[in-house]
């Protein structure tokens, strides 16, 4: 870890301040402004859900927090460190599960997790020990010697999560961690993440399954069209209604179906 | 439907230029380069108008070779174009016949087809002796071109069926490779027969002209020479062949669309239990892990196996001119050639992993660890192959006095290759076959940038090694001081250039890793 004196934002107390702070974070792709200057605080020890419609900028935002996509404007801080001016120190604190990116899938599951540990600078003994433990915890023991390319979508998610956990991060950034995961595996992952939060870690996840976010998250932010529409504690955001109703309200989309009468073939 | 498919192909062609600026420039350079090459060839073909006799020997052979190339090359290097894979149209309920015509029409809109059309224009010019022969030339050349393209679609479709399992693909990859390795020496052996090359060509042309490969290409020559009857028979046969090939293609297509290949992947059957493989056999550091991972990939991924098998075999081809043409110097180049191949072939290494690179980025892997670890397997390979080929080459040529120069040249090329690869794989990754796809499957619209990047890597490697190259050439001219000069300069410069390139690549990686990832996601 880098020298404490070098840190850009000195902390009064080591436990104070948000786990993730975004300040005016923005990104454009050609003519499209995907993220329009987001300000957001993710409190330490929170289980934070990022919800939004398709194309809202969730993945773009998370990628700028994890160092995968360089922002065009603004800053992202993790535990007080600027992701883009102090990447090495920041990256040690963060575990990442991206969505839609490939893996080194010609490695076996166990090899991949160990590889992630070694890249993080763990010793080989520690990396392989933790990999074995993670494989057991995530129910991948039977498949640990198979190539990741032969895994199902759900198993691939689990092995990616294990790779994100192997270096014992303080903050987890997970993009769609429950997509394509069966209910039993989802319950396992949820237990692991809840335990992580209870022991002081912070989890940020994106999802468009409102029920799930409502059930497990303590805090939530609704983003749409590159802007934060609402953020805060779950109960404050949903304001006495279900998250789904509130979400539809905020995003402003209509759920009425117009037309498509020819699709109603029940009269045949 | 036909128009839709053609528009799809046009859009793909246009998209070549819509990648990053560097890649667009690369593509343009590649296209210009090939345009000049193709135009030159077309002029040469057209110049056979001067001699009907020569034309009747050369053009049927060239045409037949064109059909063979159209059949073989797409499978082995540029890959069957996945956008035209019939299986992809399975869900669209397009009438078979329209789809069959449309896919051939779409195949006509592509750089290789355009090149073939330009060459065909040259052929037509060469046959334009009389109005009749010109007319027959236009018709039969068009038939020949369509036959070539339809055959290519048909063979691709048949092969795609055969290689839909990964194991099958791996087997075919290795078989195809062996074929290529055998064909090269065989061709150069025939070429080196010397002697009665002319007589043999004439005899071959006569046979080929009556074979299905040659019908379309020989017919205009018959008409031009006054043998109208023969010409029309060949033209009719050529047309019948086209109909037959089209029928075969339609049938395979029907099978593909009605009963598409299983979508689910087959298990590779690998199971290593809790064995960590090479990860336990190299140092437990980030760089060691990267090296172990790349080595594991070399063993498991057919895309790497190709270069693994090719690299040691290619230099052997240099023995052929030595034994057949008595060229004394060719074996001396075996060591330098293998060095060049080992260093150069890494210049697109990152693209093979595609965006799996995110793991290196989120874990803060330093450029030094990434670049260094990635080169370890290539260094290990060179450590075995280069000394072996340097010694064998010098021994075969019987020129032990040149050993220092040959060794120096080899090391110089190796270092230059590593340097160029370290930098280029960060700056200019270009599309390759995806992991798990056939290694011969190239992404659509990538031929131009591929050629440009490969040429750039070659030129840069040779440029960085040029001092050693010059000294080695002087040594070959008989200068004794240059023998040792090339040796010392090669070793020193090779090492220095290699390390400098590695460091530059590492710095670039540290600075541009997110941009590299963005490029990899696009390519």
Tens-digit pLDDT string for chain B (523 aa): 778 878 887 887 777 677 667 667 777 887 888 889 889 999 988 888 888 888 888 888 888 888 888 877 656 544 445 566 666 777 777 777 888 888 888 888 877 888 889 999 888 888 888 888 888 889 999 999 999 888 888 877 776 666 554 555 556 666 666 666 666 666 666 666 555 667 777 777 878 888 888 888 888 888 888 888 888 888 899 999 999 989 888 888 887 777 665 443 445 556 677 788 888 888 889 999 999 999 998 887 767 776 777 788 788 878 777 777 677 888 899 999 999 999 988 888 888 888 899 999 999 999 999 999 999 999 999 999 999 999 999 998 888 999 999 999 999 999 999 999 999 999 888 877 666 555 555 565 666 777 788 889 999 999 999 999 999 999 998 888 999 999 999 999 999 999 999 999 999 999 999 999 988 887 6
Give the number of A-B residue pairs with CB atoms closer than 8 Å: 125
Instruction: State residue A136's pLDDT score.
Output: 93
Q: What is the CATH number of the domain that holds A229?
A: 3.40.50.300
Cβ–Cβ below 8 Å for A150 and B267: yes
CB proximity A96 to B under 8 Å: yes
Instruction: State residue B512's pLDDT score.
Output: 92
What is the rounded distance in angstroms from the CA atom of residue B437 to the CA atom of residue B175? 16
| In a domain? residue A79 | yes
Residues of chain B with C-beta less than 8 angstroms from the C-beta of A127:
284
Cβ–Cβ below 8 Å for B436 and A118: no
Mutate to test the interface with A, among B169, B275, B279, B353 (most CBs of A within 10 A): B279
Task: Indicate the residue of A119, A147, A163 with minimum beta-carbon distance to B270.
Answer: A147
Instruction: State residue B259's pLDDT score.
Output: 65
Instruction: State residue A14's pLDDT score.
Output: 46
Q: Give the gap in angstroms from C-alpha A179 to the nearest C-alpha of chain B.
A: 19
Q: For chain A, what is the domain count?
A: 1
| In a domain? residue A44 | yes
Choose among B369, B350, B513, B289: nearest CA to A117: B289
Distance from the Cα of residue A187 to its chain's centroid: 17
Mutate to test the interface with A, among B362, B370, B510, B511 (most CBs of A within 10 A): B362
Do residues B62 and B217 lie in contact, with contact meaning Cβ atoms separated by under 8 Å? yes
Q: Give the gap in angstroms from C-alpha B136 to the nearest C-alpha of chain A.
A: 52
Residue in chain B closest to A129 (alpha carbons) equals: B274
Average pLDDT rounded to a whole number, residues A210-232: 92
- Looking at residue B87, what DSSP letter applies? G
Residue A40's domain comprises 4-8+17-101+170-251
| In a domain? residue A32 | yes
**3-state secondary structure (DSSP) of residue A73:** strand
Upper half-sphere CA count for residue A77 (Cβ side, 13 Å): 21
- Looking at residue B331, what DSSP letter applies? G
B277: left (phi over 0), alpha (psi -120 to 50) or beta: left
CB atoms closer than 10 angstroms to residue A256: 5
Q: What is the pTM of this model?
A: 0.73
Instruction: State residue B31's pLDDT score.
Output: 82
Structure-model confidence comparison of residues A216 and B106, the more confident one: A216
Cβ–Cβ below 8 Å for A128 and B277: no
Cβ–Cβ below 8 Å for B363 and A105: no
Residues 149-168 of A with CB under 8 A from B: 149-150, 163, 167
Cβ–Cβ below 8 Å for B362 and A118: no
Q: Give the gap in angstroms from C-alpha A109 to the nearest C-alpha of chain B.
A: 9
Tokens of B26: 């690369």
Choose among B375, B361, B363, B374: nearest CA to B513: B361
| In a domain? residue A247 | yes
Q: Which residues pair with A38 in a beta bridge?
A: A25
Task: Indicate the residue of A92, A115, A144 with minimum beta-carbon distance to B364.
Answer: A92
Cβ–Cβ below 8 Å for B285 and A101: no
Domain ranges of chain B: 2-258, 282-522
What is the rounded distance in angstroms from the CA atom of residue A75 to the CA atom of residue A73? 7
Within 8 A by CB and 6+ apart from A24, the residues are: A37, A38, A39, A73, A74, A75
| Residue appearing with tokens 């060794």 | B407
Cβ–Cβ below 8 Å for A102 and B265: no
Residues of chain B with C-beta less than 8 angstroms from the C-beta of A169:
none
Q: Give the gap in angstroms from C-alpha B298 to the nearest C-alpha of chain A.
A: 10
């Amino acid at each position: 870890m880098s020298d404490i004196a070098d840190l850009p934002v000195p902390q009064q107390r080591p436990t104070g301040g948000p786990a993730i702070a975004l300040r005016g974070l923005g990104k454009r792709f050609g003519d499209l402004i995907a993220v329009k200057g987001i300000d957001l605080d993710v409190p330490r020890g929170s289980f934070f859900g990022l919800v939004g419609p398709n194309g809202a900028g969730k993945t773009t935002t998370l990628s700028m927090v994890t160092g995968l996509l360089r922002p065009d404007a603004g800053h992202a801080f993790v535990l007080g460190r600027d992701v883009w001016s102090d990447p090495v120190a920041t990256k040690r604190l963060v575990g990442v599960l991206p969505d839609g990116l490939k893996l080194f899938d010609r490695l076996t599951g166990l090899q991949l997790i160990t590889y992630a540990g070694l890249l993080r600078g763990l010793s080989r003994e520690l990396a392989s020990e933790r990999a074995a433990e993670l494989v057991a915890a995530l129910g991948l023991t039977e498949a640990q010697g198979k190539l990741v390319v032969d895994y199902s979508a759900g198993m691939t998610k689990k092995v990616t999560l294990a790779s994100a956990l192997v270096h014992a991060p303080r903050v987890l950034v997970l993009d769609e961690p429950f997509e394509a995961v069966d209910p039993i595996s989802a319950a396992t992952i949820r237990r692991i993440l809840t335990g992580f939060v209870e022991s002081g870690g912070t989890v940020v996840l994106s999802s468009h399954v409102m029920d799930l976010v409502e059930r497990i998250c303590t805090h939530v932010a609704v983003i749409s069209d590159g802007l934060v529409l609402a953020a805060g504690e779950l109960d404050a955001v949903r304001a006495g209604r279900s998250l789904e109703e509130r979400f539809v309200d905020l995003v402003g989309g209509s759920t009425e179906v117009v037309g498509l009468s020819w699709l109603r073939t029940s009269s045949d | 439907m036909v128009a839709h498919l053609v528009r799809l192909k046009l859009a793909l062609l246009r998209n070549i230029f819509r990648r990053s600026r560097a890649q667009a420039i690369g593509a343009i350079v590649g296209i210009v380069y090939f345009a000049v090459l193709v135009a030159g060839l077309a002029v040469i073909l057209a110049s056979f108008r001067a001699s009907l006799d020569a034309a009747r020997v050369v053009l049927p052979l060239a045409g037949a070779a064109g059909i063979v190339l159209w059949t073989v090359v797409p499978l082995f290097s540029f890959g069957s174009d996945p956008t035209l894979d019939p299986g992809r149209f399975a869900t669209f309920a397009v009438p078979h016949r329209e789809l069959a015509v449309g896919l051939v029409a779409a195949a006509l809109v592509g750089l290789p087809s355009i090149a073939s059309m330009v060459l065909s224009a040259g052929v037509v010019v060469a046959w334009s002796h009389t109005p009749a022969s010109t007319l027959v030339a236009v018709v039969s050349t068009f038939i020949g071109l369509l036959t070539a393209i339809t055959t290519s679609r048909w063979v691709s479709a048949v092969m795609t069926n055969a290689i839909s399992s990964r194991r099958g693909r791996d087997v075919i990859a290795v078989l195809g490779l062996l074929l290529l390795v055998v064909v090269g020496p065989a061709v150069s052996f025939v070429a080196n027969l010397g002697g009665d090359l002319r007589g043999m060509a004439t005899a071959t042309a006569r046979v080929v002209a009556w074979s299905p490969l040659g019908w379309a290409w020989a017919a205009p020559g018959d008409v031009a020479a006054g043998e109208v009857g023969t010409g029309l028979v060949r033209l009719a046969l050529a047309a019948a062949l086209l109909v037959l090939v089209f029928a075969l293609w339609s049938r395979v297509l029907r099978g593909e669309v009605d009963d598409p290949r299983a979508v689910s992947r087959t298990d590779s059957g690998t199971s290593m239990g809790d064995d960590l493989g090479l990860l336990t056999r190299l140092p437990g550091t980030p760089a060691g892990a990267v090296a172990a991972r790349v080595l594991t990939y070399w063993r498991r991924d057919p895309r790497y196996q190709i270069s693994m098998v090719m690299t040691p075999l290619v230099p052997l081809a240099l023995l052929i001119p030595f034994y057949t043409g008595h060229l004394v110097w060719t074996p001396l180049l075996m060591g330098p050639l293998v060095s060049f191949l080992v260093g150069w072939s890494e210049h697109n290494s990152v693209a093979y992993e595609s965006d799996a690179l995110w793991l290196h980025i989120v874990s803060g892997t330093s450029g030094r660890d990434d670049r260094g670890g990635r080169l370890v397997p290539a260094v290990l390979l060179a450590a075995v192959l280069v000394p072996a080929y340097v010694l064998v080459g010098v021994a075969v040529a019987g020129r032990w006095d040149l050993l220092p120069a040959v060794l120096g040249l080899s090391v110089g090329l190796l270092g230059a290759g590593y340097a160029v690869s370290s930098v280029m794989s960060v700056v200019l990754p270009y599309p390759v076959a995806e992991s798990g796809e056939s290694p011969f499957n190239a992404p659509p619209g990538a031929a131009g940038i591929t050629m440009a990047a490969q040429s750039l890597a070659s030129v840069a490697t040779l440029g960085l090694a040029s001092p050693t190259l010059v000294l080695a050439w002087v040594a070959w001219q008989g200068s004794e001081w240059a023998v040792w000069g090339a040796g010392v300069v090669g070793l020193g410069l090779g090492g220095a250039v290699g390390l400098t390139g590695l460091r530059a690549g590492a710095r670039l990686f540290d600075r541009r890793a997110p941009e590299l990832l963005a490029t990899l996601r696009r390519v």
